[in-house]
A and B are shown apart, each in its own frame.
Chain A
Amino acid sequence: MTTLRHIFDVNAARIVPTRESRKNVRFSALSPAERENLLSSYHPDYKAGAYREIRAGANKGGRTVSELADLLESDSPLDPGMSLVPDHTTDLLVIGGGGAGCTAALIAHRLGIRAMIATKLRLGDSNTVMAEGGVQAAVGEDDSPVEHFKDAVRGGHYKNDRNLLRVLVEDGPEAMLWLCEQGVLFDREPDGRLRVKPGGGTSRARLLACEDYTGLDIMRALKESVVHSGIPVIEYAPAVELLSDGEGRCTGAVLAPFGAGENGRRIVVGAKTVLLAAGGIGRLHFQGFPTSNHFGATGDALVMAYRLGVGLVDIDTFQYHPTGVIYPGFLAGALVTEGMRSMGAQLLNSRGERFIDEMETRDVVSAAIIRECHHGRGISTPSGKCGVWLDTPMIDVTNGPGTLQARFPNMVRQFTRVDLDISKQAILVYPTLHYQNGGIRIDETGETSVPNLFAAGEAAGGIHGRNRLMGNSLLDVVVFGRRAGAAAARRSRETEHGRLTLDHVVRHRAALKEAGIEEPIVGPILVPTYARQRAG
């Protein structure tokens, strides 16, 4: 079989000899108009045929990718007449056991509130654990939350909710201190100062990292904290529907544990407050893209909140991370951290030419890669894919031998397993579905328009506008996890348990019928439906 090494060898003459001359040369930056033009021509968010109008619910008349529209118009798996005698009652029910969920549960627990976590897979199985590059927080002498805000709002094409973004950047340093107290060990310079690196679209170096295992170090510490706190955790028990008191307040949720069968056991949880921290949507594979997301990222939080009448924001825009692996096939979709580009790795087309400033924002870099492939300047793989080179050896050329191994041990390990030495040869990349830029509309405390229902992390929207910067998602999960946990704790103190009903499911079904939606799919889908046949 053809191997990546073979493909590289064929192309090496166009890549290897130019490395010294490419060192530390910044590719010319685009003007704002050129950036917009590139995006509207090549970014998947602008592919009109992939989108359709939403026909029912709070976002009726809005547009999103058809896969998500199908889900928002999906039917509940539950019979509204089912018994709703609670199996558990708690003050705060956290749905999702990733970064935001664990953070919120810990905060609420330490405020003396009874918190419980229900999660689809195991505690900690999430996108948080996979985050590689780092987390943004203004720490430099020349930096401030104002500079951080300017970078993020520019990256989001000025569509961010400015008040939420202000919370993100102003709570950032405090949230990072909290992580240090949980036992997260950020990289230091030899003199003990925090090591910071730049990211795409940032004007200052403000990424804190744990080599390229940042999310792993954070998730491991939070998970251990949750376990040692004695917070109850129900694993392999995805939530499929929220509960309300029939008067507009959220009062709990129904879980459908795996292995219980279609008509099997449900777990009813009554709660004074509920936090949706169930993450994103990558495993829906919009527009056929591979994804960097974990196995459970199927948009459940959006579906459940939407059915209860909560509006979603910016759900027509998604992040396609520029550098997903395309070959060898089993690594398809896996991420190559942006940190590599910030340390000097460059993108090259089939002619061995650079074609974009590697430190542009992710949407712009992705659009540029798609443009190269579209115009025949990509490199083909035996499995029929097309990509561009990420010239990883430039990291050592730029910073000295051994840098790649020292700073990116995770990446080196992933490729060493298949006998590829990425300090010698470049790798093939293409954009991969990475993040939902939008999500559930929240206020500055993390609460939704439905009283006592909160959302945090990737499930929530508005913070990042139409494109998130590297390192602002790990920050988001901690900042808004803390906010939502504290706000839900306060609310739980002044709230009594309410009635448990599925009245909203009846209303939702009526709305579907009124909109002429005859055979809705059943959602949330919980695990990827890879074999599903799409119309058209």
Chain B
Amino acid sequence: MVRLSLRANPLVILRESNAVFREDCLVKTSEDQEPPKVGVEILGRTFQVPAGITAVDALWLTGHALERGVGCLGGVCGACTMLYTTPGSPNFNVGLGCRTVIAEGMSFFPFPQRGRSRCRYELSDVKDPAGELLDHFDRADKCRHCHGCTNVCPQKIQVEEAIELTGKGEFAKAGEMFLPCVMCGACMAECPEEMEPNHILLYARRGFAARLAPPPHELERMAREIREGRFAAEMEALIALSDESLAARCEEGRG
């Protein structure tokens, strides 16, 4: 019985995938074939890896575990959040591992996944999102303006400013600023007041959507008309058509 390796090397498949359509491709220069190597430090050990790859690729290439700390590989899930330093700077940076290209001298390690919010609310029970903010997030007014949350955000959200807007009841603007948040939890970990900024802003966006935004009248109208059966006869007639007649109907008016 063949046991498949659970350890994946993404670079192998990327190379293999080229092979399929390689005959279609034209130029290659010798200097491009062998990317230069760079030295990086992962969890305190030094490795030489090809330049131009991401931190996640580097973790894989150097045999690090992969089931945890990898998610969408598309920069939107926050699973691969990592801490890193670069030469010449004393500060930690927070980045998404699948979207951070490594550089010579970079030192990084995966960000420990934080627990969930302490706070609980049922959105359907929330009537006045702004008025109830402190009921659901009892530390939402404790910001001491240290800029920590904004500094660590890998999505470059102005977290502190958005939190301030939330406090003023400006949920529309706060929710808009929050949109790119991947819930990596770095701001939660950073906040000295344990405010849980990401969860506060998610509350602001959801609260605005469900209670304060213009009601989606178009959806309500269409859902009602469907319930009342306005389209039922037409739909049933369409479904009953032969393949050919259906195709003719659907191609009508198209180029």
- What residues of chain A have their CB less than 8 Å away from a CB belonging to chain B? 1-2, 28-30, 32, 75, 121-122, 124-127, 129-130, 137-140, 144-146, 149-151, 153-154, 158, 162-163, 166, 170, 173-174, 176-177, 180-186, 188, 192-194, 203, 210-211, 213, 215-217, 220-221, 223-225, 227-229, 236, 258-259, 262, 285, 287-290, 292, 294-295, 328-330, 332, 334-335, 357, 370, 373-374, 376, 378, 380-386, 409-410, 413-414, 417-418, 430, 519-522, 525-532
Contact = CB atoms under 8 A, between A and B. Distances in A.
B24 A382 contact: no
A145 B235 contact: yes
B216 A177 contact: yes
Interface string B8-29: 1111111011111110111111
B119 to A, nearest CB: 9
B43 interface: no
Interface stretch (B65-73, B86-94, B141-149, B158-166): B65-73
Contact of A1 (B31, B123, B235): B31
A304 B77 CA distance: 26
Nearest to B26: A380
A301 to B, nearest CB: 18
Interface string B211-240: 001101111101100110001001100110
Contacts of A213: 76, 179-180
B67 A259 contact: yes
B208 A386 contact: no
B216 A162 contact: no
Contacts of B251: 32, 154
30 contacts: A1-B32, A1-B51, A28-B255, A30-B255, A32-B251, A121-B79, A122-B79, A127-B72, A130-B76, A138-B222, A139-B219, A140-B218, A144-B234, A145-B231, A146-B231, A192-B214, A193-B217, A217-B179, A229-B122, A262-B3, A288-B19, A294-B73, A384-B28, A409-B180, A410-B75, A521-B2, A522-B1, A522-B2, A530-B8, A532-B5
A289 B32 contact: no
A139 B67 CA distance: 41
A225 B250 contact: no
A29 B123 contact: no
B123 A530 contact: no
Contacts of A144: 222, 231, 234
B4 A328 contact: no
A75 B2 CA distance: 10
Contacts of B247: 32, 154, 158
9 smallest beta-carbon distances between A and B, as pairs: A183-B206, A29-B255, A192-B214, A382-B32, A185-B209, A139-B218, A530-B8, A288-B20, A154-B250
A183 B71 contact: no
Contacts of A203: 253-254
Contacts, number: 291
B122 A228 contact: yes
B191 interface: no
Contacts of B124: 181
A29, A173, A410, most chain B CB atoms within 10 A: A173
A2 B232 CA distance: 58
B110 to A, nearest CB: 13
Given A221-B206, A258-B68, A378-B24, A410 B76 contact: yes
Contacts of B53: 329-330
B46 interface: no
A380 B25 contact: yes
B77 A129 contact: yes
Contacts of A383: 18, 32
Contacts of B5: 529, 531-532
Nearest to B232: A170
Given A225-B123, A385-B25, A413 B52 contact: no
Given A224-B202, A410-B76, A527-B66, 12 more contacts: A125-B72, A139-B222, A140-B218, A180-B210, A180-B216, A185-B209, A217-B179, A220-B202, A294-B71, A378-B24, A522-B3, A528-B13
Contacts of B27: 380
A386 B73 CA distance: 22
A192 B10 CA distance: 45
A374 to B, nearest CB: 5
Contacts of B70: 121, 295
Nearest to B14: A332
A409 B205 CA distance: 17
Nearest to A227: B116
B127 to A, nearest CB: 13
A294 B226 contact: no
Nearest to A213: B179
Contacts of A215: 76
Nearest to B10: A530
Interface in B80-125: 99-101, 113, 116-117, 120-124
Contacts of B3: 262, 522
A230 B11 CA distance: 40
A210 B180 CA distance: 10
Contacts of A374: 21, 24
Interface in B145-186: 155-156, 175, 179-183
A130 B79 CA distance: 13
A185 B175 contact: yes
A122 to B, nearest CB: 6
B165 to A, nearest CB: 15
Given A177-B223, A530-B10, A188 B213 contact: yes
Contacts of A329: 14, 52-53
A521 B175 CA distance: 48
Nearest to A259: B67
A258 B67 contact: yes
Greatest chain B CB density within 10 A among A138, A192, A227, A383 is at: A383
B179 A210 contact: yes
B8 A528 contact: yes
B6 to A, nearest CB: 6
Contacts of B7: 531
Contacts of A126: 72
B246 interface: yes
Nearest to A328: B52
Contact of A188 (B13, B20, B214): B214
Interface string B22-42: 101111110110011000000
